[in-house]
Structure 1
């Protein structure tokens, strides 16, 4: 029984798809004396002791973000941040002003200068640096934008926006500000240096079927996230509008600059309680404190659609974050045998979550970056076609797709499922086609069908023919359980999928399938493939057919027919015929192309002489004499044609040269 439990535990840990980074940023834990602040724009943690009088320690994930300094204690610190260039420190201690300190030359005894609200009746809720010298005050009565002049130790008022503000959120990644205003209105703004652009408001569902009063979103239930290069506002609904819902939902609003933003996606949580949200690689991670587990959602994958929004279930079964052991600082006085690590409490009430993937435990003094393990998700998602769709959206998903295809196609323990493989190919090529369409549109620099919006590819990564050839198809020869018949079946299915999405098939894919047919002597099938154009015409493919003439004589004629159909390979056809010492057919082909006035006489005369067939040489020589008469009025070759050797050979064999009747009509002397 103990063995089974150990196995189950190992299996469960193997399937945990979330973990905390192994090297958290450590800082002094919060206490009555020390207050912890986090600036998500610069990703810095501030530990402020005694209002700064006994020190401020700043830490970040990079060395240039770390520093320490002292400030005069002028009261409790409400907020503290550096400017984007880390040269100006801004501190809010009151509800009506923000203080500034130039941090360029020294970190001690910093002279301060302050700025009050432009509106004397306003109360500052917070502030945001939107450029290295521009700061925005968010007050209960609106927005006030200032320009900072550090050398003059002063600020200049630029502009304001009047709006009642209950609370606000800001995304440094997209510089989007979201404000909750009177009546639960959610109003987004785009912040840019010198400007504040107002977005259309969110079309927020507020009333539920069982409540007459609307459920107003609180600050802790709203997040701003970047999803697939679009900014989205996520609103947690503890009591959703739908009466059939068995738990909370998250409404996703993708911001639109042109019109009111409607709800476009709904994440079904199927439980209630306290939640927190992170975003990793365009995946929405929802942490549930009561069950100590996390759910994962992808708005790019298909879901139920009610005509207005797409409803998504969690992609895989909810799982806890992988257990984390925190190393304790060791000292010379630490007793032997004492623990050097402690187990961290996951989903702690002390956790505070920031976008996109930051988790802070102020009481413990740790900042972690949440990480995602795609290997574990692969083990939990059993629908392989949906798994391919999932991996196409991940930034490093290509290697997982190739591994998945390889294990599916080359499965040793069972017969591969052709229907499954076909579906996987179709997902890859649908995505492949979307990339080609986007590339074509970008090259043309024009909207498609008169639409103003530009196309977007279906996936983040591209798995093309070269990838499959290199990692899968070319390895068939190394697999003892893969037969040539199986190779033909798989490649035929792949070619079908490419053709379905109007993607040109590369010649190396055709080469693989033709070689497999020849090895199993499936010549009739090969002929059928060519005759019914399952295999598209190309010069490389024609050359391959020529190389197969030794084992399949008909391949020679098939190659010539293919080259003729291409109509762009006339020179190659001539070379092939000459190399085969079929000089007369080569001459006839040149005549059919009406190119006799421009071809090299020397090439044909040399080839004819090498055949040691007098009649062939005679015919070719007379052909070019007649051409010379037609073009220049004389049978004599020009000096730059360098045909003296062949004239001498003709005279030595047949006597003095003379223009005579066309060999092709009258024949040649024997």
Structure 2
């Protein structure tokens, strides 16, 4: 049964106590950690991550409602926001005092919208009036301002993979200003505008953070906009519009993913595939931006595979709640714009769903762990009842040969560079 589904949840889910009046739950996208904060931390904070190394439990003083809580990289410093004016910090570095210290934002009358860790000891405060980039000095229990930028901010989004922060500006919120962070430096990137389906009059905030996501696809940074068409346009459905955001240069709209339906959606990027989950139908669509159909300057994409639900998950319970035979539970996603990679794509089921062998090979050759599945395709064509005609076999092996040629060319180029460097060094030594 599970072989029929190309999407399934992780085999090791993170289980935590439900949110309640005494237990607040937070998720940190950067470290993939779930925080369960009981009674403001006084009766315990339990942090669980994808592995045991990122899990920890501790207590902290209850100083008010926790609005946001995140560890820096490596669980070295904990940051807790309880008010709109300051952020508290606690050292978790071995041999450092486990003491709390606080820092207020420097801009008067500004409200802190949130914060982002860009390294183990560098943090950005995002306020409604700009951003403040700090270095945390754990030994001195203080923060050093590295750089700041004044700008009116509606909301923000951070991509931990690339350390790029996206700020929503202007009244309508559709002008986005990105900043890049690296090794105590902050760089302002080119701002760009998201094209709205309709311009409201009078002007008001029209672009929500729920409709924006940032992700790396094929080593390139993209801003993804979930575009809901107005009913007056008689559009067949919503779209996901991809804006390519280079480190230098202008951000451009490059891809459009046709969803062919309306409603609420959530996005994942897994193995360079964009996975769009549709709430009402509990089904998912997969897109590969390398498989494209040109429509002028844009690449327009339809789903690579038929819509399908995620493989029902069997939750293993222990104790009194356990039942002798537990039926698999249908997966109902909590919908958010946050990018995650916790829904892996299984390749074997795609063999029955993608009949075009040439397109199937293009799809498989760009995936991780594809070798055994590709061998299965070749075996089916050559030995089993599903024998392909010679033109199909030729197409498949042409694609395999092309990939192998590219690998050999890259290897030879690398070897040539190494040889040139060796000869140069040898000549220098002789001289």
Taking structure 2 as the reference length, the TM-score comes to 0.89
Other structure's SS at 1:326 match: coil
Give the structure 1 partner of residue 424 of structure 2.
none
Query: In 1, are the aligned partners of 2:197 and 2:227 still within 8 Å (CA)?
Result: no
1:281 corresponding residue in structure 2: 271
How many residue pairs get matched?
Answer: 415
- 2:275, 2:286 within 8 Å by CA — same for their partners in 1? yes
Q: In the alignment, what sits opposite 1:103?
A: 92
Residue in 1 that maps onto 2:391: 419
Determine which of 75, 97, 101 is the counterpart of 1:113.
Answer: 101
Q: Could you report, residue by residue, the CA deviation over 1:318-374 in whole angstroms, capped at 9, with x for unpaired residues?
A: 00001112122314xx6xx955646545224x45574332xxxxxxxxxxx322111
Output the CA distance in 2 between the equivalents of 1:240 and 1:282.
30
Indicate the residue corresponding to 1:637 in structure 2.
none
| More deviation, 171-180/265-274 | 171-180
Displacement after TM superposition at 1:313 (Å): 0.3
Please say if 1:39 is aligned against 2:28.
yes
User: Residue 178 of structure 1 contacts residue 188 of structure 1 at CA under 8 Å; is this kept in 2?
Assistant: yes
Residues 20-31 of structure 1 aligned to structure 2 (within 5 Å): 20-31=9-20
Using the TM superposition, give the Cα deviation of residue 412 of structure 1 relative to its aligned residue in structure 2, in angstroms.
Answer: 4.5
1:395 to 368, 371, 377: 368
Q: What are the Cα deviations for residues 616-667 of structure 1, in whole angstroms up to 9, with x where unaligned?
A: xxxxxxxxxxxxxxxxxxxxxxxxxxxxxxxxxxxxxxxxxxxxxxxxxxxx
For 1:159, the equivalent position in structure 2 comes to 147
Please state how far the C-alpha of 1:181 moved relative to its aligned partner. Answer: 1.0
CA displacement, residues 97-129 of structure 1 (integer Å, 9 cap, x when unaligned): 00011123599x953211101102211111111
Higher RCO structure (Cα 8 Å, ≥6 apart)? 2
Q: What secondary structure sits across from 2:343 in the alignment?
A: strand
Name the SS of the counterpart of 1:355 in structure 2: coil
Is 154-163 or 380-389 further displaced after alignment? 154-163
Look up the match of 1:407.
380
Is this contact kept in 2: 1:44–1:58, CA < 8 A? yes
Match of residue 232 from structure 1: 222
Find the counterpart in structure 2 of residue 489 from structure 1. Answer: none
Q: Which has the higher strand share?
A: 2
Partner of 2:307: helix, strand, or coil?
Answer: coil
Q: Which protein is richer in helix relative to its size?
A: 1
Deviates more, 1:404-413 or 1:129-138: 404-413
- Structure 1 residues 550-600: Cα deviation after superposition (integer angstroms, max 9, x where no partner): xxxxxxxxxxxxxxxxxxxxxxxxxxxxxxxxxxxxxxxxxxxxxxxxxxx
Separation (CA, whole Å) in 2 of partners of 1:389 and 1:105? 49
**Deviation per residue, 1:126-156 (Å, 9 max, x gap):** 1111122111101111110111111111111
Partner SS, residue 364 of structure 2: helix
Q: Distance in 1 between matches of 2:205 and 2:84?
A: 28
Structure-2 change in CA distance of 1:343 and 1:433 (3 Å): closer
Structure of larger gyration radius = 1
**Is 1:383 the equivalent of 2:368?**
no
Deviation at 1:315, TM superposition (A): 0.6
Q: Distance in 1 between matches of 2:19 and 2:148?
A: 36
RMSD between aligned residues: 2.7
Relative to 1, partners in 2 of residues 1:263 and 1:101: Cα closer, same or farther, differing over 3 Å?
Answer: same
SS at match of 1:300: coil
The corresponding residue for 1:356 is: 340
> Gaps spanning 5+ residues in structure 2: where?
418-431
- Taking the aligned partners of 1:300 and 1:132, their CA distance within structure 2 comes to 35
> Does 242-251 or 396-405 show the bigger shift?
242-251
Q: Which runs of 5+ in 1 are unaligned?
A: 1-9, 358-368, 446-670
Separation in structure 2 between the aligned mates of residue 129 and residue 223 of structure 1, nearest angstrom: 18
**Cα offset for 1:243?**
5.1
1:203–1:262 contact (8 Å) kept in structure 2: no
Compute the TM-score of the two structures, normalised by the length of structure 1: 0.58
